Amino acid sequence: MSAASHAAGAGVVLGLVTVLLLQQFFVLDLTSLTTALVDLVIGAIVGGVLFAAIGWGLGRRYAHVHPDVGGPTP
Amino acid sequence: MAELRSRARTLRLVTAAVLLMLLALPTVAFAAAARPVAPAAGLEPAQTTPAVTWNGVDVASANSPSSALTISYNAAANVAFTWSSTYAPKANVATARLAMIYFGFALSTRDVPPVAGGLGPSESAVMNWTVGPIQYLVEGIYGVTASLIAQNGSTVWSENFYLKITAPGSILAAVPILVILITVYELYNVARSGRYIRLSAKSPPKTGGSSSSTAEPPATEAPAAPGTEATPPAAESPPPGGRS
């Protein structure tokens, strides 16, 4: 498991819960099953990709601050 | 170290299970789903279409999420169905139904029979509607289907509108609180994800864990595993939570 994949996993969950939160906060309408599932899938994909990038950046920063880590495989 | 990793995996599984339960809530708790509009056999065609009022307001005015009717989580609303006898004689209408829809399933369904009385030009049914047992669970925008159900179970007429259920403090319902807690936990996971780069590093970090480094590559580990490189044991585990 790398920093990017760890953050991507968290990002998928965050994408899903964001969709649910937007419905609870009167932004999204999740009445229709297909629309709701599409929203959830989009949220999961966007969250996964976005947070994978963030995790990758955080991993590089961590390796920069802690040179003894060695960094990812060349 | 390995325990921390398995603990993180367990927490992730629990989070996924909670999310699945949230999504399955409407399918488990409530069986009835809204039926599509299909005129019942033997009923007269519409002369004057039925109408539903929500505390005196025609629900046709709430046909989009932005114009949704608002109700507090513990409030009651007076819902009145009216329709003409020529559209649907009382004998043909078994119940007037209000169903709150979430993910395509009926989250709560309430039925009332037509008001008893003599034959007249119009019929009616009156319901005192509350959110019900799920009032502490949910808030947000929900689609609601008002319908007249015939004796044979078919839908005589139906109309969809939107309802905005509010909770105290805007978030004090169980589902948003739970979802916010999951969000905070996952954001914490993202914030410390940089440390997981240790796991993908080719050379394991020095034993001892402190970052005060001198220029010593991992010489002590080298002879231990010449052929089996897939087990970087203790150094592989993610760094513990808040420690350096």
Q: Check which CATH number belongs to the domain holding B127 and give it.
A: 2.60.40.10
User: At B95, phi and psi to the nearest 5?
Assistant: -145, 155
Domain annotation covers residue A73: no
With cut-offs at 50, 70 and 90, classify the pLDDT of residue B86.
Answer: confident
Domain annotation covers residue B171: yes
pLDDT in tens, B147-162: 999 989 999 999 999 9
> Which amino acid is residue A6, in one-letter code?
H
Contact call for residues B192 and B241 (beta carbons, < 8 A) = yes
Structure tokens at B123: 């019929």
Domain annotation covers residue A35: yes
Domain annotation covers residue B77: yes
Percent of chain B having pLDDT more than 90?
A: 40
* Residue B176 near chain A (CB below 8 Å): yes
pLDDT in tens, B95-130: 999 999 999 999 889 999 988 765 667 888 999 999
Domain annotation covers residue B243: no
pLDDT in tens, B213-229: 443 444 444 444 444 44
With cut-offs at 50, 70 and 90, classify the pLDDT of residue B20.
Answer: low
Of the candidate ranges B181-190, B202-211, B222-231, the one whose mean pLDDT is the lowest: B222-231
B190, A10: Cβ pair inside 8 Å? yes
Q: How many Å lie between the alpha carbon of A38 and the closest alpha carbon of chain B?
A: 11
What span, in angstroms and rounded, lies between the C-alpha atoms of B62 and B198? 55
Domain annotation covers residue B231: no
With cut-offs at 50, 70 and 90, classify the pLDDT of residue B241.
Answer: very low
Domain annotation covers residue B76: yes
Nearest to A33 among B12, B103, B164 (CB): B103
Total structural domains in chain A? 1
**Residue B207 confidence (pLDDT) above 90:** no
Nearest to A71 among B19, B22, B201 (CB): B201
| pTM score | 0.68
SS3 A7: helix
Who contacts B140 (Cβ-Cβ below 8 Å, separation ≥6)?
A23, A24, A25, A26, B164, B165
Residue to test with chain A: of B64, B145, B186, most A Cβ within 10 A = B186
Total structural domains in chain B? 1
Percent of chain A having pLDDT more than 70?
A: 91
Residue count (chain A): 74
Count of other CB atoms within 10 angstroms of residue B3: 9
User: At A36, phi and psi to the nearest 5?
Assistant: -65, -40
pLDDT of residue A46: 97
Domain annotation covers residue B70: yes
What span, in angstroms and rounded, lies between the C-alpha atoms of B68 and B162? 5
> Which amino acid is residue B122, in one-letter code?
S
pLDDT in tens, B52-75: 999 999 999 999 999 999 999 999
**Residue A2 confidence (pLDDT) above 70:** yes
pLDDT of residue B204: 53
A30, B138: Cβ pair inside 8 Å? no
Domain annotation covers residue A22: yes
Domain of B124?
37-175
Find, among B12, B128, B16, the residue nearest to B76 by Cα.
B128
H or E stretch including B187?
helix B174-191
What span, in angstroms and rounded, lies between the C-alpha atoms of B110 and B215? 74
Domain annotation covers residue A23: yes
* Contact pairs from chain A to chain B, CB under 8 Å: 145
Nearest to A26 among B164, B175, B189 (CB): B164
Smallest CA–CA distance from A53 into chain B, residue: B190
Domain annotation covers residue A60: yes
Find, among B149, B90, B98, the residue nearest to B114 by Cα.
B90
Find, among A44, A64, A46, the residue nearest to A56 by Cα.
A64
What span, in angstroms and rounded, lies between the C-alpha atoms of B39 and B150? 9
More confident residue, B203 or B87: B87
Residue to test with chain B: of A30, A31, A37, most B Cβ within 10 A = A31
Domain of A52?
3-67
